């Protein structure tokens, strides 16, 4: 098979179809951490804390949850644990849309896991390129098409080459956009030209995946974000998103610059160590990660507390307006 070529026409390229494709993947999506509890040498999933987190965030202004992604330490969870986490979240989400992460490099195993996901009421499946293998572009197209054909929920491509070792070229992404069950992308590719081209093409919802690129992606016409920093005052991020959507760019810039100190601290040490340290200080979970991940330093944790307090001092501790919660639930109607 030859390497993928750009697809210039598609039945999904009409305005009505593109609008439908975007309807389920807009706004700020929270890639939720997975809480653990220390039990001697073991660190089982803390399902009580997980339910507490979901209840805390489900009406905070987010569009939905992304579960078992990078921030959720999915690589440290076995298949049964991931399913149990998804079931707990779905049981507590109360209609808030849920996207499940699905990463792997063994096609048969990945498809078997996808079959298990098909039994769950998911809004989408977030899936990166198979890691470590570094396949050709043609191989990547075959991989994602195979998953999209098998999945009951729409796929959200996860373009994150610095973790997978595989780059999805623009031609490949435009080819995949022609598949009716590939509907969005979490964009961590770091290429502004690709981001702009996908937004202009209009067939995929483009969701910022790098926290520091949130404002630039939205200002270019992107549809939302999946960002770990939205754990910290998600209503602030939701307000930033609304400001861009209503063309209040000056207000959006003020909010973005206010949150950047928090973003920088959250990634000053390996994610999700800092965000878990902050959540522990909020009383929402224990500050426990699975090896080889380590907790953030106490000094960084205190800096985060102070940085979030500065946002609160400037904007107040915001809660989502009732309409935000309603929109978050209804947003996935066509997904």
Cα torsion 215, 278, 63, 115: sign: positive
* Beta-bridge partners for 184: 156, 205
Could you tell me where the beta strands, DSSP code E, fall in 202-334? 205-208, 224-226
Catalytic position from the list 57, 131, 132, 158: 158
* Beta-bridge partners for 155: 125, 182
- Say if residue 14 carries a ligand binding annotation: no
Total Cβ atoms within 10 A of residue 200:
10
Contacts of 243 (CB under 8 A, 6+ apart): 249, 251, 252, 255
Known active-site residue 264:
no
Catalytic position from the list 57, 132, 186, 276: 186
Of the candidates 99, 184, 170, 182, the one whose C-alpha atom is nearest the C-alpha of residue 146 is: 182
- Is residue 27 a contact partner of residue 63, using CB atoms and an 8 Å limit? yes
Total Cβ atoms within 10 A of residue 121:
11
Burial class (CB in 10 A: 0-12, 13-18, 19+), 296: buried
* Beta-bridge partners for 55: none
Known active-site residue 186:
yes
- Is residue 98 a contact partner of residue 67, using CB atoms and an 8 Å limit? yes
- Say if residue 71 carries a ligand binding annotation: yes
> Which letter, b or e, does each residue of 170-184 get, where b requires 16 or more Cβ atoms within 10 Å of its Cβ?
bebbbbbbbbebbbb
Which amino acids are annotated as binding site for pyruvate, given as ranges? 71, 226
* Residues labelled catalytic: 158, 186
Which amino acids are annotated as binding site, given as ranges? 71, 226
């Amino acid at each position: 098979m030859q390497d993928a070529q750009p697809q210039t026409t598609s039945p999904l390229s009409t305005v009505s179809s593109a609008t439908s494709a975007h309807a389920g993947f807009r706004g700020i999506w929270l890639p939720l951490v997975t809480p653990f509890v220390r039990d001697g040498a073991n660190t089982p999933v803390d399902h009580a804390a997980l339910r507490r987190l979901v209840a805390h965030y489900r009406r905070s202004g987010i569009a939905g949850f992304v579960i078992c992604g990078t921030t959720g330490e999915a690589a440290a969870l076995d298949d049964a644990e991931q399913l149990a986490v998804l079931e707990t979240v779905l049981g507590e989400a109360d209609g808030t849309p849920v996207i499940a992460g699905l990463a792997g490099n063994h096609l048969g195993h990945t498809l078997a896991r996808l079959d298990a996901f098909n039994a769950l009421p998911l809004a989408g499946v977030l899936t990166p390129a198979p890691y470590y293998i570094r396949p050709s572009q043609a191989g990547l197209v075959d991989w994602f098409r195979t998953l999209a054909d098998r999945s009951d929920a729409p796929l959200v491509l996860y373009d994150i080459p610095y973790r997978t070792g595989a780059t999805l070229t623009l031609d490949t992404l435009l080819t995949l956009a022609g598949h009716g069950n590939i509907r969005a992308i979490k964009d961590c590719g770091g290429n502004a030209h690709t981001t702009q081209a996908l937004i202009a093409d209009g067939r995929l919802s483009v969701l910022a995946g790098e926290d520091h690129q949130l404002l630039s992606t939205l200002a270019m016409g992107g549809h939302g974000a999946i960002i770990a920093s939205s754990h910290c005052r998600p209503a602030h991020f939701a307000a930033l998103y609304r400001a861009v959507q209503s063309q209040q760019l000056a207000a959006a810039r003020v909010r973005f610059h206010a949150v950047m100190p928090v973003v920088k601290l959250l990634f000053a040490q390996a994610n999700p160590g800092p965000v878990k340290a902050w959540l522990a200080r909020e009383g929402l979970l224990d500050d426990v990660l699975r090896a080889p991940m380590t907790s953030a330093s106490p000094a960084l944790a205190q800096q985060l507390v102070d940085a979030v307090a500065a946002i609160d001092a400037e904007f107040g501790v915001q809660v989502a307006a009732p309409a935000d919660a309603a929109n978050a639930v209804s947003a996935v109607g066509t997904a």
